Amino acid sequence: MSVTDGLMRGMEVIDTGPPLSFLVGGATLG
């Protein structure tokens, strides 16, 4: 993820596709 510095209400944004997702492994899940 990147910072949202300068992002303001009403600005045009670009839909890059699916929502945020994170790959996790056994160490993360416990």
| Cα 5 off chain centre by | 14
Other beta carbons less than 10 A from residue 30's beta carbon = 4
Is 22:1 a contact under the CB 8 Å cutoff?
Answer: no
Strand, helix or coil for residue 5: coil
Whose CA is closest to 4, among 22, 13, 20? Answer: 13
d(C-alpha 21, C-alpha 23), whole Å = 7
The model's pLDDT over 5-17, given as tens digits with 9 standing for 90+, comes to 777 889 998 898 9
- The pLDDT, as a whole number, for residue 1 is 63
Report the predicted TM-score, pTM, of the whole model to 2 decimal places: 0.28
Mean pLDDT (whole number) for 4-29: 86
